[in-house]
Structure formats: structure tokens, C-alpha cells
Amino acid sequence: MSKPWLKRLPFGQSRLGRLIFGLNVLGLIIIVIGALVLSDFRGGLINAQSDSLLSQAQLMGEVIAEVATEGVPEPHLEAENAAIVLGRFIPSGQRARLFDDKGNLISDSYAVSDLIDVSQLPPARKPNDPVPQDKSAKRQARRALAEQQLHGEVMMALSGAPPTAVVRLNERGIKVVSVSVPLRHVKEVLGVLTIERGDVDKIVAAQRWSMLPFILVAFGVTMLSSLLLNWLVSRPIHRLSAAADNVRLARTRAISLPDLESRRDEIGTLARSLESMTDTLWRRMEEIDRFAADVSHEIKNPLTSIRSALETLPLVKNDEARDRLMAVINQDVRRADRLITDISNASRLDAELSRDTPKKVEVGTLLEDIISLYQQSHIAGQVAVSFKRTLPPAASLVNGREGPLGQVFRNIIDNARSFSPEGGEVRVTLAHSNTDPLRPTSIVFEDDGPGIPEDNLETIFQRFYTSRPKGTSFGRNSGLGLSISRQIIEAHNGKIWAENRKDDSGNVVGARFAILLPSVN
């Protein structure tokens, strides 16, 4: 259910802001409740009052027992002497009562000091109002209960039980701390002195009121911190969410919030990460669009050629010309098949790289296994493949994925063989790079072909680059092999590049492909 008033609050439009505010207020409420309850303080105060009253009652009991029995033939409490002591030595705010050995009241400090028990009068009753019958009964019941508790306390003191402080209600229903001590003359119990104090609740109430300024300050600080957290955390996240929605709706290319990106906290890190992520996604989407356009163009070429040959075939009466058209059709079919296979591999590459967990790969052994297949299937007159390594197995470890790396090596070897003359050789060398201080693993592929035009040393790694020199067969390559190879090597934090081999006179005698992969220490 929508609540318009809630949305008008500074934190009303943000669930995170409401959560921050609610948690702060909840913590404040807990603090306030703990401060108001003051259970520990109240318990400590009652214990302190009990100890004080107990010491005072014992001291006063000895004084009263001495004064009240002075000059009396038979040891008993003299009411007049006891009243003098109660009137002079009982502090204000305390009430002392003296009982004889039968539990009868002898003297009361309130009566001695002429104190009047004042209570607030009830509100004036209107003539037609019913007379409350239960208030008087409650008052009498409360008084009876107080007298019963007091009598029980006095009788325990007369029985010789050790004096202890108790908390009970007096006749007015006010909580008091009471101590009853027996008055002794030698070993004989002459009576009981009861002292009570009823200002515990007042002291606790005063402590509560004294904490009010601190509570107000804490409440103000909590409100301020809630607003600041809402301003510094909740609102920026809300802005990031709105910016992400704009990207999703294709209104903008990437998240761009400079005031958030310049922050040096987690919000700034999140903003920069989101901007980088969305920018990468847009580049990937543009790459996919270009890839789809390139695929459409490349597939259309052999299909157009096949369609043209098929349309021309019924018109050709010469068998030799018919055979040439059939050869063109077969070549274009193989080209389309190779193209579709490489496109399928390229489209699955990202998923395979993200799904396959990198592990330690011994590049030397992987190259030996791949090259041994070329050597076993080698036929005289074809391009041979040789391998030379200068690294032991322990020194040629890289952190990568064996399948994609093997695909890279096969792509480069196949590409080098396709450009090499008949009877030529593709040489593969494994060593450490001496030009890099980190000494990464270096794999070099060399052929004896016509080389690469200087202007195309970088463009050959672009998708569907199929420019080939004269004398080499057309249609055997899709133009995706080197592009896929670079993508795989860069995913392994490596580098791949091409260069020409030259003799002492500066003439091009072949091509060279070099790969650098970080070694595992």
C-alpha cells in the first residue's frame, strides 16, 4: 500500500535509507529504555540504602537501649526516653518506630516530630457523579497489608533473626527500604527499632531526569547520522540504480556519474566498477554487431559464387567448362564449411574461456604432442614441422587452459604451412624471452614463405583477413584463425605478434610468429 507522506521524508524513497534510519532509531530506543529502567543503578542504590540503614539502626538501637533503660529498676523501654532519642537523632526523610517486646508500638518519629502525613486530595466530585466505593476499600487493604508486613518484620527481629534490610510498601503504597533491629540489654531483648526510608523512587526519578539532556543529544546525533548516511550512501546507490536503468533502456551508453566516481570510498569504487562494466559490455555488444556483420558478408561471398556457378551450369555445353564450374562449387562449399566451423569456434570461445578453470600447463609437452601428430602424418614433398626446446619441463609451466592453447598452436602451424612452399619447413622453438625482465615463456614459429607485407603485420590478426600472395591456394583459410589466437593469448595475459624474417641483405625469407606467456614460478 502506497504511503504518500512516507515518500516526502528525506529517506522515504529509499528502502536502504529507511533501513539505516530504522536501525539507528532502534539502537537509540534500546539505549533510552536501558537508561530509563536503570535496573543496575536502582539495585545498587537499594543495596547502599540497606547497608546505610542497617548500620544506622544498629547504632541507634544501642543508644536507645542505653538511654531508655537508664534509671529504670527493671530493664524495659521507657517511652519518654525513647521518644527523646527518636526526635533528636533520626534524620529528615527517615521514619523510625519503636516496638516493645510484645510487638506493640511504643513511639513513632513522625508523631514525636509532629510530622503530618500529607497526601493529595482527590478531585472534587460533582453532585450527580456516583460515589466511588472501591477507593476506600483499596486504601484500607493497602494499609492492612503494610501493617501485616511491618508486623512480620518486627516479629522476626524479636525472634532473634539477624537484622536484614527488606523492600516493602508502606501505608501509602510507596516503596521503602526498611530495617528492624532488636534492642538488647545484656542478653535480654527489650524491643525492636524499625527505620525505613522511602526516597528511593525519587532518587531514581531524579537520575532519569538528569539523563534527559544526554538522551536529547543522542537523539539529535542519531537523526543527523541517519540523514548523513541517507545522503552519502542511500541516495548515491539510488542514483547508480537509475543510471543503470538508463543504460538498460539504451538511453545512454555507459554509467557516468563523475561526482561519485571521484569519491575514495566504496561508493566511488562501485561507481567506477559499474562504469567500467557497462563500457565493457557496450564494447562487447558492438564487437558482436560487427562480428555478425562480418559473418554475414563472408558467408555471402561463397554463397554468391555457388549460386552464380549453379545458374551458369545448365548453360555450359562444354565438359571441360562444366568441370571447372564444379571445381569452383566444391571449393566454395569447402570454404563455406571451413568458415562456418571457424565462426562456430569463435562464437563459443568466450564461453569456453570463462568456463574452463586455468591450471598449470607444461607448454613443452603440449607442443611435443601436437607437433608429433604433424610428423607422424608427414608425406614426402609436404611442409614439415620441427620442434626445438631449450627449457626443461619444470621451466616451461604457464597458468592457462590446455585446450585453447593447443588450438592457438595448431592455428599458427596450419597458417605457416599454408604459406610455405612445397618441401619447406615450419620450425617451432620454445625458450625463455631474454628481452623481458620477467623472462616469460617464449614460443616462436618460423616458416619459409613469402613473408607478410609490412603494412599488414597487425591487420592479419583482424577477423576475416584473407589477403594471400600469388602462388598460394585460395579458400583454405577463413581469416579467423589468427584473430582467435590473439583473443586466446590475451585471455592468458600474454602477447602475440608477427614479423618478417630477413637475410643479411635485408630480403624477406619468411614469416615469424612469436608468443609470450607469463611463466609460473
- Percentage above 90 pLDDT, the chain: 8
φ, ψ of residue 284 to 5 degrees: the values are -65, -40
Residue 407 C-alpha cell reads as: 588450438
- Residue 225's pLDDT is 77
If pLDDT is split at 50, 70 and 90, which confidence band does 75 have? low
With cell 630480403, the residue in question is: 507
With cell 531526569, the residue in question is: 209
By the 8 A CB rule, do 463 and 294 touch?
yes
Return d(Cα 279, Cα 285) in angstroms, integer: 10
- Percentage above 70 pLDDT, the chain: 73
- pLDDT over 80 at 24, yes or no: no
If pLDDT is split at 50, 70 and 90, which confidence band does 45 have? low
If pLDDT is split at 50, 70 and 90, which confidence band does 474 have? very low
By the 8 A CB rule, do 496 and 513 touch?
yes
If pLDDT is split at 50, 70 and 90, which confidence band does 387 have? very high
Return d(Cα 123, Cα 142) in angstroms, integer: 21
Return d(Cα 1, Cα 246) in angstroms, integer: 27
For residue 517, what are the β-bridge partners? 441
* Greater model confidence, 453 or 2: 453
By the 8 A CB rule, do 238 and 232 touch?
no
**Mean pLDDT score, 2-11:** 55
φ, ψ of residue 416 to 5 degrees: the values are -65, -40
Beta strands in 132-187 (DSSP E): 165-169, 175-185
**Mean pLDDT score, 17-46:** 67
**281-337 residue pLDDT tens:** 888 787 777 777 777 767 787 888 888 888 888 888 788 888 888 888 888 888 788
Residue 165 C-alpha cell reads as: 534490610
Write the DSSP symbol of residue 383. P
By the 8 A CB rule, do 393 and 519 touch?
no
With cell 608425406, the residue in question is: 379
- pLDDT over 80 at 514, yes or no: yes
H/E segment holding residue 377: none
* Greater model confidence, 244 or 117: 244
Q: Which of 31, 29, 38, 28 is nearest to 205 (CA)?
A: 38
**Mean pLDDT score, 420-436:** 85
If pLDDT is split at 50, 70 and 90, which confidence band does 87 have? low
Return d(Cα 345, Cα 331) in angstroms, integer: 21
**Mean pLDDT score, 181-203:** 77
Q: At what angle do helices 266-312 and 235-248 cross, to 10 degrees?
A: 10
If pLDDT is split at 50, 70 and 90, which confidence band does 4 have? low
**Mean pLDDT score, 177-185:** 81
**Mean pLDDT score, 451-472:** 74
Residue 309 C-alpha cell reads as: 556457378
- The size of the chain, in residues, is 521
Residue 364 C-alpha cell reads as: 613443452
**Mean pLDDT score, 345-358:** 71
- Residue 173's pLDDT is 76
* Greater model confidence, 387 or 200: 387
**Mean pLDDT score, 8-13:** 55
**Predicted TM-score (pTM) of this structure:** 0.50
Pairing type for strands 188-197 and 359-362 reads unpaired
Residue 276 C-alpha cell reads as: 567500467
With cell 543503470, the residue in question is: 244
For residue 67, what are the β-bridge partners? none
Single-letter amino acid code for the residue at 475: G
Per-residue DSSP letters for 252-266?
SSS---HHHHT-SSH
Pairing type for strands 165-169 and 175-185 reads antiparallel
Is the CA virtual torsion 378, 387, 479, 280 positive or negative?
positive
Single-letter amino acid code for the residue at 388: K
- pLDDT over 70 at 34, yes or no: no
Residue 119 C-alpha cell reads as: 497526601
Return d(Cα 301, Cα 294) in angstroms, integer: 11
Three-state secondary structure of 295-309: HHHHHHHHHHHHHHH
With left for phi above 0 and alpha for psi between -120 and 50, is residue 426 left, alpha or beta? beta
- pLDDT over 50 at 7, yes or no: yes
**Mean pLDDT score, 477-487:** 77
Three-state secondary structure of 446-465: ECCCCCCCHHHCCHHHCCCC
* Greater model confidence, 401 or 87: 401
Write the DSSP symbol of residue 105. E
Mean per-residue pLDDT over the chain, rounded: 77
* Greater model confidence, 131 or 359: 359
Residue 501 C-alpha cell reads as: 624474417
* Greater model confidence, 520 or 258: 520
- pLDDT over 90 at 350, yes or no: no
